[in-house]
Amino acid sequence: MPVVDVSIVTYCPDLSAFGALVASLREQTRGVEAHLLIQDNSPDPATTRQLERMLEGENSFARVDVRRSDENLGFGRAHNENAVRGSAPFLFVLNQDCVLEPGVLEPLLEAAACDDASVAAWELRQIPYEHPKAYDAVALDVPWVSGAATLFRRSAFDAVAGFEPRIFMYGEDVDLSWRLRAKGFRLRYLPRYAAVHRTYRSAGEVKPLQVLGGAETNLCLRARFGGRRRTLRGLLRLGLEALAPEDFPGRRAGLMRVGWRFLWQWRYFYATRVVPTAQFTPIFEGGDYEVRRDGAFVPMRSQRESPRGETPLVSILIRTVDRGAWLEQALATVANQTWRNVEAVVIEDGPRPVVRAAAESASNDMRRAGALFTTTDAAS
């Protein structure tokens, strides 16, 4: 039976949303030994007592442990507190406003168990808006994983001492991801497993705390991963942004405070700098990290909201001529599709053994995805 510690950090939570999260976990604990660890950062002790009452008598989890912070520890530091209270081989980090899609937890843990020890984390797809960072559509490697819904390998998480406690919120997941990659670990994105995370009230919403917190963390990460030149570029960019027209009240003053706070922290992050390796080179894209792809704010529907009934079969036709390696990658992308009822039809205009070899290599992924596979000769 797979064992996992589920780590949730709360701050003045919407109790109905929190209840929906717990319910989505509860319905998936059959066949899984799940330990529910909650660190409450709320200023009012009554909030912690409400959470405890909601979970009183809960027997779906192997263990329920609710703790209250004497101060607001921030996102990453609070998850670290949860982590030290657990010992399961996997640590599942979830936002308080997420709801797992049906049937996610057990297959997620099975997929993680099938990966070798070089993989440190597995990120879930977010609904309604998928994160727009680029990823490898074949291997599903990703440059960093979001802290909203990601499963971590405990040994890897501990090897880099978890989240950076000096980053209060926003960007701490990028910092952790880059430190893992600098240690030689891989990160993967598993779009077939998803969680509803309604972090935006509307497409393209500007959130002041995210803008300001992200700007500060961007400078801290430039000091740690990018060196002095990139740090100076970041400060210059911050100054130019402070001069730009405000898209929310207090933006200019907030960015100025960000600059002062960073200068106070610069020495620490520069002293703990991480040197790039042949496998890991951080990419700063202005205020963002790594390469973004088109498609942000394209809404996707939850299974819980989808109409019941049979989903139509989608056939993907692939013509190939003696290109076994390319065919293998194409079949892998079919297996990685989130649409459940899909088949790959390969039309071979060359030697049939090429198709058989590629299909054999991709068959396990196709089978796990529930995809169908057929072949035909071009002449037929």
Q: Considering Cα of 144, then 149, then 151, then 157, what sign does the dihedral take?
A: positive
Give the ranges where 160-250 is alpha helix by DSSP (H): 172-182, 208-221, 227-243
Q: For the chain, what's the residue count?
A: 380
Say what the pLDDT of residue 367 is: 62
Same-domain pairing of 217 and 146: no
Q: In total, how many domains does the chain have?
A: 3
Is residue 335 in a domain? yes
pLDDT of residue 310: 67
Residue with tokens 């263990």: 63
Residue 340 sits in which domain range? 314-377
What pLDDT score was predicted for residue 365?
A: 63
Question: Which residue do the tokens 């994160």 mark?
Answer: 131
Residue 48 and residue 186 in one domain: yes
- Which one, of 289, 296, 293, 122, lies nearest residue 193 by Cα? 122
Rounded distance between C-alpha atoms, residue 51 and residue 67, angstroms: 10
Question: Which residue pairs from 288-291 have beta carbons closer than 8 angstroms and sit at least 24 positions apart in sequence?
Answer: 289/133, 289/143, 289/144, 289/171, 289/174, 289/218, 289/221, 290/133, 290/134, 290/143, 290/144, 291/133, 291/134, 291/143
35 and 156 in a common domain:
yes
Strands in the chain per DSSP E? 3-10, 33-40, 63-68, 90-94, 98-100, 119-127, 149-153, 186-197, 284-285, 288-289, 314-320, 342-348, 372-377
- Residues paired with residue 40 on neighbouring β-strands, in sequence order: 10, 68
Q: Domain for residue 292, yes or no?
A: no
**Residue 289 resides in a domain:** no
Q: Strand 342-348: give its sheet, edge to edge.
A: 314-320, 342-348, 372-377
For residue 339, being part of any structural domain is answered with: yes
Residues 182 and 213 in one domain: no
Say if residue 168 is in the same domain as residue 43. Answer: yes
Residue 328 domain flag: yes
Same domain, 55 and 165: yes
Residue 219 counted as domain residue: yes
Spatial distance between the Cα atoms of 145 and 151, rounded to a whole number of angstroms: 9
Which of 197, 217, 232 lies at the terminal end of a domain, its last residue? 197
Sign of the alpha-carbon torsion through 149, 132, 291, 170: negative
- How many angstroms separate the CA atoms of 164 and 269, rounded? 10
Q: Which of 223, 257, 275 is the last residue of a domain?
A: 275
Same domain, 190 and 214: no
β-pairing, 186-197 vs 119-127, is: parallel
Residue 379's pLDDT is 47
Same domain, 255 and 345: no
CA–CA distance, 28 with 103 (Å, rounded to integer): 6
CA 208 remoteness from chain centre: 22
**Residue 285 located in a structural domain:** no
End residue of a domain, out of 175, 197, 219: 197
Question: Would you say 164 and 74 are in contact if contact means Cβ atoms under 8 Å apart?
Answer: no
**Tokens, residue 193:** 């497993």
Instruction: Assess whether 129 and 225 both reside in one domain.
Output: no
Which residues, other chains included, contact 226 with Cβ-Cβ below 8 Å and sequence gap of 6+? 234, 282, 284
In CATH, what number is assigned to the domain containing residue 50?
Answer: 3.90.550.10
Residues 227 and 341 in one domain: no
Residues 332 and 355 grouped into a single domain: yes
User: First and final CA of the chain: distance in angstroms?
Assistant: 48
**DSSP state at residue 125:** E
Q: What is the pLDDT of residue 10?
A: 97
Asked if 238 and 333 sit in the same domain, the reply is: no
Does residue 87 sit within a domain?
yes
- For residue 8, the SS3 value is strand
Mapped onto helix, strand or coil, the DSSP state of residue 152 is strand
pLDDT value at residue 35: 98
The residues of the chain scoring below 50 in pLDDT are 379-380
State residue 152's pLDDT score.
Answer: 98
